[in-house]
Amino acid sequence: MSAARSTAPREKFASRTAAMVVMGISTLYFLVPIWWLFISSTKSRGDFASTAGLWFADFNFFENVSSLVSYNGGVYLQWMLNSVIYAGAGALLGTLFAAMCGYALAKYHFPGREIVFNVVLGGVLVPATALALPLFLIFSQFNATNSFWSVFLPSLVSPFGVYLARIFASASVPDELLEAARLDGAGEVRTFFSVSRRLMTPALVTIFLFQFVAIWNNFFLPLIMLRDQSLFPVTLGLYAWNSQVNQIPEIRTLVIVGAFLSIIPLIIAFLSLQRFWRGGLGAGSVK
């Protein structure tokens, strides 16, 4: 930092400009598809085919939304609700399990600790997609495919979350503090929830967000597991609709509006939680 301060202002200006340009381009790169999606979701079917993609034609957004939510008995709303439950509850519980597991691996000494941790770490390397088919065959044994649990249970597991929780717990939860809590008579569970959990909050928010996004975007597992469309998450439902566009062209508008609405919960989750996240990163850097 001090070196940067001492350089000539012009050089600083140039490097800042360069950085801004790079940032601007990547922002544009990421936002243009969302802009396109928004614009397209305001268009009627005729305008969609015949007008420019990046600017408004007649504003039909609310008509489109109302036909989306009424199509096929309002199944889209059901899908959204399903996604919120799969991702919300799944991420919450998944975060809790990851936090407890990572904390235990960081703070307790027991035989086989490193082996357990390495196995979990190995789990980070296995893509979720590769596990979908084995999971399907296992759930088939219990006649549990095509059920809420067949998607929900596998979503609770997050090896990456365990890894993150362990690293963060060893860095941010001092052993002395735990010692003090124990001396004051708090049990291990109470220590975890009242002391360690608070110290680990930034990591937990990160794990929650990662897990929320991972479950929300998880497409392959529901594709393999689910047949009953009242159980579909929104990603699978939209995909199923989209595969019909050639023969039922009316659906195209619904897919676009549906896709646009389906990113809103993710945006809300990020905006409302990033505060905690930033705090966490800051705390880490000062130490």
Partner 1 sequence: MQITNRKRIVALGVLVAVALSGCATAAPGGTAEGIDCKPSEGKVDLTFTSWIPGIEDVVDIWNKKNPDVQVTVQTGPNGNGGTYKNFFNQLSAGNAPDLGQIEYDALPNFRVQDGLENIASCANVSESKDQFIDWTWNQVTFNEDGAVYAVPQDTGPMALYYRKDLFEKAGIPVPTTWDEYQAAAVKIREEGGYITNFPQNDVNWFAGLVWQAGGQWFANDGDAWDVTLESPESTKVADYWQGLIADDLVSKVPAWTDEWNNAYNTGSDWTWISAVWGANSISSGAPDTAGDWAVAPMPQWNAGETAAGNWGGSSTAVLKGSKHPYEAAQFALWLNTDPEALTALNKGANLYPATKEGLKLPVLADGVEFYGDQKIYDVFAEAAAQTNPDFVWGPTMTQTYADVADGFGGVLGGTGTLGEALATGQEKTIAALNAAAIPVKE
**Contact code string over 71-100 relative to partner 1, x by CB under 8 A:** -x----------------------------
Query: SS3 of 244, please?
Result: coil
Give 175-190 as a DSSP string.
Answer: HHHHHHHHHTT--HHH
Q: Which is nearer to partner 1, 146 or 170 (CB)?
A: 146
The tokens 């999971």 sit on which residue?
Answer: 135
Spell out the residues 6+ positions from residue 120 whose beta carbon is closer than 8 angstroms to its own.
Answer: 101, 105, 159, 162, 163
Gap between the Cα atoms of 131 and 136, Å rounded: 9
Q: Work out which of 80, 98, 214, 251 binds partner 1, going by CB under 8 A.
A: 251
247 belongs to the binding site for partner 1 (CB under 8 A): yes
In the region spanning residues 27 to 46, those forming contacts with partner 1, defined by CB under 8 A, are 45-46
| Token pair listed for 37 | 């999606």
119 belongs to the binding site for partner 1 (CB under 8 A): no
217 belongs to the binding site for partner 1 (CB under 8 A): no
49 belongs to the binding site for partner 1 (CB under 8 A): yes
54 belongs to the binding site for partner 1 (CB under 8 A): no
For residue 205, which of 235, 174, 157, 168 has the smallest C-alpha distance?
A: 168
235 with 219: CB under 8 angstroms?
yes
How far, in Å, are 93, 219, 223 from residue 207 at the CA level? 11, 20, 25
Shortest distance (Å) from residue 248 CB to partner 1: 5
Q: Work out which of 23, 119, 137, 264 binds partner 1, going by CB under 8 A.
A: 137
User: Which among 27-35, 100-108, 120-128, 228-236 is the span making contact with partner 1, rule CB under 8 A?
Assistant: 228-236
Spell out the residues 6+ positions from residue 45 whose beta carbon is closer than 8 angstroms to its own.
Answer: 249, 250, 252, 253
Shortest distance (Å) from residue 49 CB to partner 1: 4
The number of residues that bind partner 1 (CB under 8 A) is 35
User: Which among 169-177, 184-192, 197-205, 242-250 is the span making contact with partner 1, rule CB under 8 A?
Assistant: 242-250
Task: Compute how many other C-beta atoms are within 10 angstroms of the C-beta atom of residue 171.
Answer: 14
Shortest distance (Å) from residue 35 CB to partner 1: 16
Q: Which residues bind partner 1 (CB under 8 A)?
A: 45-46, 48-50, 53, 72, 133, 136-137, 140, 143, 145-146, 223-224, 226-229, 236, 239-252
